[in-house]
Amino acid sequence: MSEIGQRAVGTEEDDATGVAEQSFTVPTDLDVDLLPMYLTESRELLDGAEGSLLALEDDPTNADAVRDLFRCFHSLKGNSAYFGLTPIATLAHDAEDLLSGVRDGRRRFDTRCAGLSLACVDTLRAFLESLEGVTPGDTLTCPAGTAGLLRALAQEADPDASPLNEAKTELPTNVGVAAGSAPDPEPEEAPVGKDPAGGEAARNRIVPSVRVPTPRLDRLLEILEELVISQAMVNQNEAVRSRKHPALTRQLSHISKIVRELHDLGMTIRTVPLGRLFQSTRRLARDLAHKCGKKVRVECLGEETEIDRSMVDALGDPLMHLVRNCLDHGLETPADRRAAHKDEFGTLRLSARSSGGKVIITLSDDGRGLNREAILRKALQRGLVDAASVPSDQEVFNLIFEPGFSTSAVVTDISGRGVGMDVVRSTVESLGGRVTLHSEPGRGTSFDLVLPLTLALTEGMLVRVEDRRYVIPTADIVTCVNPSPEDLVDGAGNRAATLNVQGTQMPLLWLSELFALGPGVEEPIVLVLRDLDRRFALVVDDLIGQHQLVTKPLGEVVGRVRGIAGGAILPDGAVGLIIDVQALLSIPRGGATESVPTAA
Amino acid sequence: MTAVVARTSSDIEKFLTAYVGEEAYGIGVECIRQIIRTLPVTPIPSTPSYVLGVANVRGKVTPIVSLRAKLGLPEAEPGRWSCIVVVETSRGLTGIQVERVSEVVSLETDRIQAFPELHTTFDRAMVRGALHRDDGLFLVLDIDELLRTNR
């Protein structure tokens, strides 16, 4: 994710004269205890500025965006001046000047203006980066390109703009991060311990909030999980189940309700809205489009959808790669698009929605779609496909995820990590999710990233096969039937491959067979399970009972096991394996092959 | 987390002595979180033989591996003294089943020599070095490498 911030967009501002960058000294009276807070808040200000800039690019008349933008640079200038970080304050001031021209109607927010402003954001981010862990009195070099940027900004400045010297004395002296009187609180959060509503009645979208160190939050959530499990164990206790003590049962039921509510609240603490991730992706798309000479409009939907904060970082690279892929290969040049009677501007849509215990992120374009022949040819070349086979369109498209398919070591701005489609898939899978794709020639391609909401309390049915216990998520169970033994064998006396359940013929699977467990009992129970719109029947020995459980991944050392979604602590303290219903159908008969541990 | 720290030659490191059969192996104490006698382990289908399964360690679903299997030695009954050494690495918590543990030894880093054997039943990267002691060879394990998931 940090890659995006580090890349200065405005390459047209590169300092071609080779002038060395200035250096600056970190003030000797810098309060290092306050520095982290300054850095965090400044980064948030810059994120806000970037968002407003992108919005302005789409709609140069957006007055709100200009105001927000101004506020961001102004606050950053003030805070930086307070700490004596002059170069930062100066750059922020120059950016303010540039934008004041837009705000006052003296100039349009054109491409040059956008490029310069975004270059300011990038350079300021680089400044902040260089301040990490610094000691008062240190001498640092300004980030590459600063001198060129300052010159370019000076060139753009209105003739009657105040000279730099004057500007310095104008800087407010009572603005400070810790002074508790920042006149322009950032869009997201107010400093700790101050009245956030003071003087900002108009900004009614600011919700008072506090900063909590993440480890403390994580610990809180861990304890919450233990509480959920303990409470489940209490409910399992004979004395409770026997219902001999109505008052006790009632009181425990009340506790259950409270715990449930606490859990739901905990889930909201764990999650963050996808908006931040989308913004970075949007920024990347814009930059890449400029580089490849393509025109793209980015639409974002469902930015308020929340996912577990631990996943946000991991998703950065895969999304970046998908965007790059879309702009390099998916979208046609404006000329080609015109020839195909399409809008010159291609559309890249990023959307997110939650459904059940999952979040689905979709990235789609209206470009040329995947080229079946080209993919098949490359796959044959790399021996990924048998020359004699005739795969379906979907099977061909899915080949792009095979390791060995991606072109090796493509030198890209994503810094030669050799990120390919296979890494996109393996990253999503390591988060417990999956990637699917759809494509139509001439119409476009879309990728769906389906991710689990961790810390979700899954309702599961505990089943038994031999001496092993497994959990099947209740949401995936349609019904349960008790067939007679004859229904389970075919004419030749072998295990039947299908079963007729209430009039529908559906595939029949034995859990004991899938996990190589043994023969199973004479009179088993059959569960009818669903995976999207597919139905199938699963044979188990016995049903034990329903439980609420917290799903956990099995750990990198174990890796991904086909058919197992994760583990959960059962009420008796043992670990139960949770079945991944969607994957059961893809396990070959006779058992799955060995698990593939996730990357070392 | 086993931090990689620049060590001077006079550094002392501490290792827990763990036995598989008669052979002694050293596990750096800085990565050890707990030692548990026995634990119900839930086996997982279709996993490599060294993965014994997962278990509930202090409320966490924790993978348990067998040191014996990782060393490529033939299977054997666990024995009365077998226990699980729970370590923490960049991969999270993992339990390593060993047959017996005994004292913690302090060793000077420069006494740990390169492991001489060329032909082993296991991946040589798992052993950081070796030491000759009165009762035989003491192999110092590299836990990160041990838990690395290669073939």
Q: Which comes out higher in pLDDT, residue A122 or A208?
A: A122
Residue type, A11: T
Surface-to-core class of residue A329, CB atoms within 10 Å of its CB (0-12 exposed, 13-18 middle, 19+ buried)? middle
CA atoms within 13 A on the CB side of B128: 17
For chain B, what is the radius of gyration of the CA atoms?
Answer: 15
Judge: A468–B65 Cβ closer than 8 Å, yes or no: no
Q: Which of B36, B39, B50, B51 to mutate to test the interface with A (most CBs of A within 10 A)?
A: B51
CB distance B45–A566 less than 8 Å?
A: no
**B1 within a domain of the structure (yes/no):** no
Contacts of A516 in chain B (CB under 8 A): 45-46
Q: Has residue B5 been placed in a domain?
A: no
Min Cα distance A593 → chain B (Å) is 6
β-pairing verdict for A504-510 and A346-355: unpaired
**Cβ–Cβ of B56/A592 closer than 8 Å?**
no
Q: Are A552 and B60 an interchain contact pair (Cβ–Cβ within 8 Å)?
A: yes
Where is B88: in which H helix or E strand? strand B83-89
- Domain assignment present for residue B121? The answer is yes
Chain A residues inside the 8 Å CB shell of B65: 557
Radius of gyration of chain A (CA): 29
pLDDT of residue B68: 93
* Residues belonging to chain A with any Cβ–Cβ distance to chain B shorter than 8 Å: 222, 225-226, 229, 468, 514-517, 552-559, 561-564, 566-569, 573-577, 591-595, 597-598, 600
Residues A38-93: pLDDT tens digits?
898 899 899 999 999 988 888 888 888 888 888 899 889 988 988 889 899 999 99
- Kindly identify which residue of chain A lies nearest to residue B46, measuring between CA atoms: A594
Is B140 within the bounds of a domain? yes
Structural domain contains residue B7: no
Per-residue pLDDT, A320: 87
Using CB atoms, pick whichever of B40, B62, B94 lies closest to residue A574: B40
A196/chain B closest Cα distance in angstroms:
40
Question: Which one of B51, B61, B65 has the shortest CB-CB distance to A552?
Answer: B61
Q: Is residue B76 part of a domain?
A: yes
More confident residue, A131 or A19: A131
**Inter-chain touch B59–A225, beta carbons under 8 Å:** yes
- Chain A residues closer than 8 Å to B51 by CB: 557-558, 595
- Residue keyed to tokens 């789609």: A364
Q: What is the pLDDT of residue A595?
A: 54
Which one is predicted more confidently, A187 or A260?
A: A260
Q: What is the reported pLDDT for A13?
A: 39
Q: How far apart are CA A535 and CA A501, in angstroms?
A: 10
Contact A575/B56, CB-based, under 8 Å? yes
pLDDT score recorded for residue A274? 86
- A508-532 pLDDT per residue, tens: 888 888 888 877 777 888 999 887 6
CA–CA dist B100, B80 (Å, integer): 9
pLDDT in tens, A87-141: 999 999 999 888 888 888 888 888 888 889 999 999 999 999 999 888 888 888 8
**What value does the mean pLDDT take over residues A344-370?**
86
Burial, B17: exposed, middle or buried (Cβ in 10 Å; 0-12, 13-18, 19+)?
middle
Q: Indicate whether B6 belongs to any domain.
A: no
Looking at the complex, report in whole angstroms how far the Cα of residue A531 sits from the nearest Cα belonging to chain B: 22
pLDDT band at A384 (very low <50, low <70, confident <90, very high): confident
Per-residue pLDDT, A594: 54
**CATH of residue B115:** 2.40.50.180
- Interchain CB distance below 8 Å, A558 and B63: yes
User: Which carries the bigger pLDDT value, residue A235 or residue A90?
Assistant: A90
Any A CB within 8 A of B74 CB: no
| Burial class of A194 by CB neighbour count within 10 A (0 to 12, 13 to 18, 19+) | middle
Return the higher-pLDDT residue of B149 and B7: B149
Q: Do A567 and B61 touch (CB under 8 A)?
A: yes
Q: Tell whether B142 is covered by a domain.
A: yes
Does the pLDDT value for residue A4 go beyond 70? no
| Beta-carbon contacts of residue A286 (< 8 Å; ≥ 6 apart) | A54, A57, A296, A298
Band (pLDDT 50/70/90 cuts) for residue A395 is confident
- Nearest to B70, CA basis, from B124, B14, B15, B137: B124
Give the residue, A184 or A37, on which the prediction is more confident. Answer: A37
Closest CA to A469 of A582, A571, A588, A357: A571
State how many domains chain B has.
Answer: 1
pLDDT at position B10 is 64
> Touching check for B58 and chain A: CB below 8 Å?
no
Distance CA A573, CA A369 (A): 50
DSSP three-state, residue B20: strand
- Most confident listed range (A109-113, A208-212, A349-353, B135-139): A349-353
Whether residue A399 contacts residue A384, with contact meaning beta carbons closer than 8 Å, is answered with yes
- Please, what is the average pLDDT of chain A? 77
Interval A494-500 mean pLDDT: 84
State the SS3 of A414-482.
Answer: CCCCCCCHHHHHHHHHHCCCEEEEEEECCCEEEEEEEEECCCCEEEEEEEEECCEEEEEEHHHEEEEEC
Residue A589 has a pLDDT of 56
Taking contacts as CB-CB distances below 8 angstroms, the residues of chain A near B148 are 600
List the single best residue of A557, A570, A578, A579 to mutate versus B (max B Cβ within 10 A): A557
Residue A146 and residue A22 in contact, taking contact as beta carbons nearer than 8 Å: yes
- Give the C-alpha separation, A439 to A372, whole Å: 10
Q: Is the ipTM of this complex over 0.90?
A: no
Confidence of residue B66 (pLDDT cuts 50, 70, 90): very high
CA neighbor of A277 nearest in space, from A317, A322, A331: A317
pLDDT of residue A564: 86
Q: Which of B47, B56, B148 is closest, CB to CB, to A558? A: B47
CB–CB contact B62 A555 (8 Å): yes
User: Which residue in B51, B56, B61, B143 has the most chain A C-beta atoms within 10 A of its own C-beta, making it the best mutation to test that interface?
Assistant: B61
* Higher-confidence position of A193 and A377: A377
Please give the pLDDT value at position A276: 82
Q: Is B142 exposed, middle or buried (0-12, 13-18, 19+ CB in 10 A)?
A: middle
pLDDT average, residue stretch A288-308? 86
Closest approach of A579 to chain B, Cα-based (Å): 11
- The predicted pLDDT at position A590 comes to 52
Of the residues B49, B146, B149, the best mutation for testing chain A's interface (the one with the most A CB atoms within 10 Å of its CB) is B149
- The reply to whether residue A557 touches residue B48, judged by beta carbons under 8 angstroms, is no
Query: Would an 8 Å CB–CB cutoff place B120 in contact with chain A?
Result: no
Token pair of A396 as six digits = 């061909």
CB-CB neighbors (< 8 A) of A514 in chain B: 45
Q: What does the pLDDT read at residue A333?
A: 87
Tell me if B44 and A558 make a contact (CB, 8 A cut-off). yes
Does pLDDT of A159 surpass 70? no
The residue written with tokens 């009365």 in the block is B80
B67 touching chain A per CB within 8 A: no
The answer to whether the Cβ–Cβ distance between B42 and A576 falls below 8 Å is yes
Asked whether A408 and A416 are in contact (CB, 8 A), the reply is no
Query: Where does the pLDDT of residue A412 fall: very low under 50, low under 70, confident under 90, or very high at 90 and above?
Result: very low
Amino acid identity for residue A344 in this structure: E
User: Mean pLDDT over residues A308-314, rounded?
Assistant: 79
Q: Which domain holds residue B79?
A: 12-148
Please state, in angstroms and rounded to a whole number, the distance separating the CA atoms of residues A98 and A161: 10
Across A393-397, A451-455, B60-64, the highest mean pLDDT is recorded for: B60-64
Nearest C-alpha in A relative to B52: A558
- Three-point CA angle A438, A443, A445, nearest 5°: 30
pLDDT at A194: 37
